[in-house]
Amino acid sequence: MHPGAFAAQTPDKPAVIMAGSGRVITYREFDEESNRLAHLFRAAGLQPGDHVAFMLENHPLFLTIAWAAHRCGLYYTAISSHLQPEELAYVIGNCGARVFISSAKLAGVASSVAEATPGVELRLMLDGVAPGFVSYEEATSAQPATPVEDECQGMDMLYSSGTTGRPKGVKPALSHAALDVAGPLMRLIQFLFAPAADSVYLSPAPLYHAAPLRFCLNFLRFGATVVVMERFDPEEALRLIEAHRVTHAQWVPTMFIKMLKLPPEARKRYDLSSLTCAIHAAAPCPVPVKEQMIDWWGPIVHEYYAGTEGNCFLYVGSREWLEHKGTVGRPLLGQVRICDEEGDELPTGEPGTVFIEGGPAFVYHGDPDKTRAAQDPRGRGWTTLGDIGYVDEEGFLYLTDRRAYMIISGGVNVYPQEAENVLSVHPKVADVAVFGVPDEEMGEQVKAVVQPAFPGDAGPELESELIAYCREHLAHYKCPKSVDFRDELPRHPTGKLYKRHLRDEYWPSTS
């Protein structure tokens, strides 16, 4: 399965549609443009196994650029468009990129790192030029639109979003020549979600994140049309489902929460009958939120648990989830092992670090210490994404929190995800983060930081209301002792919370 085949069969069919601008990239254009860039990579001396990086907004040519690298055997790193110069320079240097591509929209930060990234041999800029860059359009226009002679598959080397520390580049432990690049993920997508040439896939998230990028490219392998939102808006997403007769879409729980908080008339305004598969991942979804989504959209909500590292894939459909509310699924790739701090396995129902046995091995590029930290202490080859959870008697996994965010208060482990899940559905809460702060007597106490749905509500009265609400649903020791208010919480555009940034404000010595 290859987009080039669909370029030959249905050349004028839309491959990519940009939701905001309406720009359409046909399969012919997608194939020819990616071929031109692949030839440019070869002309620049890049061979299979070399590395390129690009930092772009959700640009019309984003997926084309990724596919160009993919089809000529390169590793490619899609970089967050929200990084600051120091972070950007670190990723470009760490991944060893020989070519770096950006856009005029991001020219300020892109051009500021030239001196700090001497390993880059060619810098290309879309939609304009900047110091140190050459025009992407001019550089590619003279190249052939046919495939390179030595066409072969490359793959991504993406970086974790850095919500718990500096971004880590994830690379398979296998050599480049041994990679089954189209392998497990494409087969799982095909088996679970049945993409086809008549599918329309809505991508509402930033494309540089692992799941949107990989799912979009895999849906293009099946000849589907991909509709890309430049930025997420809850009502606009509903409108796009109706307008483009979207069949598949992938979300994160914060998107569900925002759609559910739309006025009832807005939720009822659009025909969503074409949607047959709503996929979600990236973070645990509060049980009431998912219940409401299934009530609204029907049993088409699919959840999976995986990571950029690719070491596992767990899955649960709506009907099974309703029988095991709160689960993130059972493994389809790898086996779940729950361990304590010493690496001993824990019994069913007892929370511990989630390790995966038998999944694909990975390394954090250029960082053997972080690689070892993701492996089980007993040397059994098991790996972890850093989550804490437990399994039930039927093997379903339930996540309680990230290991880095567990609160130890008076010797008792508190998982802040529980309080976050409760508070996130309160009608006066737009966003919430819960974490531990210093406490002289208990070591740590539970703190909530809330973005109110209505800014004028912030204050002692709402603080008391939210604490009381949480205590109605959870044991008191799991609930915040205090609540602070912010205009906005620091979230990654994929929906992941930069809790570390908030927590560090209360733990100055750890920043």
Give pLDDT, residue 500: 75
Tell me what the mean pLDDT of segment 242-266 comes to: 94
Strand order in the sheet with 75-79: 134-135, 122-126, 99-103, 51-55, 75-79, 155-156
- The residue ranking higher by pLDDT, 466 or 341, is 466
Q: Residue 63 — pLDDT band, cuts 50, 70, 90?
A: very high
3-state secondary structure 108-142: HHHHCCCCCCCCCCEEEEECCCCCCCEEHHHHHHC
Is pLDDT at 163 greater than 60 in this prediction?
Answer: no
Say which residue, 466 or 179, is predicted with more confidence: 466
- Would you say 208 and 81 are in contact if contact means Cβ atoms under 8 Å apart? yes
Strand order, beta sheet including 429-439: 429-439, 443-452, 482-485
Residues 466 and 480 sit within 8 Å (Cβ to Cβ): yes
The pLDDT of residue 94 is: 92
pLDDT band at 307 (very low <50, low <70, confident <90, very high): confident
What is the Cα–Cα distance from 193 to 218, expressed in whole angstroms? 11
> Tokens standing for 453?
């749905």
- Band (pLDDT 50/70/90 cuts) for residue 162 is low
Give the pLDDT mean for 166-191. 69
* Averaged pLDDT, 200-211: 93
Residue 248: C-alpha distances to residues 202, 277, 320, 324, 477 (Å): 6, 5, 20, 24, 41
* DSSP conformational letter for 169: B
| Edge-to-edge strand list for the sheet holding 14-18 | 24-26, 14-18, 225-228, 200-203, 248-251, 277-280, 301-305, 313-316, 330-333
Longest dimension (CA), the chain: 70
Amino acid letter for position 388 = I
Beta-sheet pairing, 122-126 with 99-103: parallel
CA 49 to chain centre: 24
Beta bridge partners, 361, equal none
Cβ atoms of 483 and 148 closer than 8 Å: no
Q: In sequence order, which residues have a C-beta less than 8 Å from that of residue 8 and are 6 or more positions away?
A: none
Least confident of 199-203, 234-238, 487-491: 487-491
Q: Which of 80-84, 154-158, 347-351, 374-378 is least confident?
A: 80-84
Is the pLDDT higher at 489 or at 162?
Answer: 489
Domains of the chain: 26-172 (3.40.50.980), 406-510 (3.30.300.30)
How far apart are the C-alpha atoms of 505 and 8, rounded to whole Å?
Answer: 56
Provide the b/e sequence for 247-284 (b: ≥16 CB within 10 Å).
bbbbbbbbbbbbbeeeeeeebeeeebeebebbbbbbbb
pLDDT in tens, 266-298: 999 999 999 999 999 867 788 999 999 999 999
pLDDT at 407: 82
The Cα 27–Cα 335 span in angstroms is: 39
Instruction: For residue 164, name the pLDDT band (cuts at 50, 70, 90).
Output: very low
Mean per-residue pLDDT for 384-399? Answer: 93
Full DSSP string of 427-460: TTEEEEEEEEEEETTTEEEEEEEEEESSGGGTTH
Q: State the pLDDT confidence band at 181, using cuts at 50, 70 and 90.
A: very low
98 or 169, higher pLDDT? 98
- Tens-digit pLDDT profile for residues 90-141: 999 999 999 999 999 999 999 999 999 999 999 999 999 999 999 999 999 9
**87/83 Cα distance (integer angstroms):** 6
Give the pLDDT band of residue 309 (cuts 50, 70, 90). Answer: confident
408 pLDDT higher than 80: no
Angle, helices 27-43/62-71, rounded to nearest 10 degrees = 60
- Find the angle CA(459)-CA(423)-CA(299) to the nearest 5 degrees: 150
Q: Which of 408, 370, 366 is nearest to 386 (CA)?
A: 370
pLDDT at 2: 80
* CB distance 262 to 235 below 8 Å: yes
Tokens standing for residue 406: 């567990």
Q: Are 182 and 70 in contact (CB under 8 A)?
A: no
- Work out the burial of residue 118: count CB atoms within 10 Å of its CB; fewer than 13 is exposed, 13-18 middle, 19 or more buried: exposed
Mean pLDDT of all residues in the chain? 90
Q: Which pLDDT value is given to residue 509?
A: 55
Residue 178 has pLDDT above 60, yes or no: no
Per-residue model confidence (pLDDT) at position 418: 84
Pairing of strands 330-333, 313-316: antiparallel
pLDDT digits (tens, 9 = 90+) for 72-90: 999 999 998 888 888 899 9
Query: For residue range 419-437, what is the model confidence (pLDDT) as tens digits?
Result: 998 999 999 999 999 998 8
